[in-house]
Chains A and B, each alone.
Chain A
Amino acid sequence: DTAVSQTPKYLVTQMGNDKSIKCEQNLGHDTMYWYKQDSKKFLKIMFSYNNKELIINETVPNRFSPKSPDKAHLNLHINSLELGDSAVYFCASSLRWTEAYEQYFGPGTRLTVT
């Protein structure tokens, strides 16, 4: 029973392409997140949704667009991929937004742009 799952696990694509990463959580959580981890392991939040509403939108290029069709899903679509987008993308969820609840992370999607 995977709590937070992501697909695909690996994604290799060429510059200029458009790709999507899907995330699902079966924990009944209200809040979901997207993080980017670069090659030096530095982890930075990109977006957060609470009950399907966008509540965090960090300084991320407009080419990145999150979509939350329901509370259990948060997808990330990336247009016109660039070399600098190569990273590991993690989805996470937490019970609520308003307190210091534990965040549960998915296994990550390794995106390689060539």
Chain B
Amino acid sequence: GNSVTQMEGPVTLSEEAFLTINCTYTATGYPSLFWYVQYPGEGLQLLLKATKADDKGSNKGFEATYRKETTSFHLEKGSVQVSDSAVYFCALREGGGNKLVFGAGTILRVKS
């Protein structure tokens, strides 16, 4: 079946550090890929998405590029802020509908 693997957390960074959260997937074909973010005590919010190979999704300084060769969708940000502290989920869209398969989530903690 389809699956998503994310790097284990927690990831702890100082403010203004560079962030990478690795995400790889296993799927048939080329599914749409997503990053969702969950701030403390809240539901998930879409951060960015890419629907085909080589697409780059970007939002709020975060970026991720759909790499079909390496079946990856790594999340990056050049300079993190304390307010970026949250849980980040990588997900893929399975099949022809809108069913999402999520990775295990990566906790990010940013210290001032």
Interface residues of A (CB under 8 A from B): 4, 31, 40-45, 48, 55-56, 90, 92, 94, 96-103, 105-108
Contacts and interface: CB of A to CB of B under 8 A. Distances in A.
Contact of A44 (B38, B42, B43, B102): B102
Contact of B97 (A43, A92, A97, A108): A97
Given A31-B98, A102-B49, A105-B45, 6 more contacts: A43-B44, A43-B89, A56-B97, A97-B98, A98-B97, A108-B42
A100 B49 contact: yes
B42 A107 contact: yes
Interface in B24-49: 32, 34, 38, 41-46, 49
Contacts of A55: 97
Nearest to A107: B43
Interface residues of B, number: 23
Say whether chain B's binding surface is mostly helix, strand, loop, or mixed.
Answer: strand
A4 B100 CA distance: 18
Contacts of A100: 32, 34, 49, 51, 93, 98
B87 A98 contact: no
In the complex, the 4 A-B pairs of residues with the closest C-beta atoms, listed nearest first: A105-B43, A100-B32, A41-B105, A105-B44
Interface of B: 32, 34, 38, 41-46, 49, 51, 87, 89, 93, 96-100, 102, 104-105, 107
A40 B93 contact: no
A103 B102 contact: no
A108 B100 contact: no
Contacts of B38: 41
A77 to B, nearest CB: 21
Nearest to A40: B104
Nearest to B46: A102
A108 B38 CA distance: 11
Max chain A Cβ within 10 angstroms of own Cβ: one of B42, B44, B89, B93: B44
A105 to B, nearest CB: 3
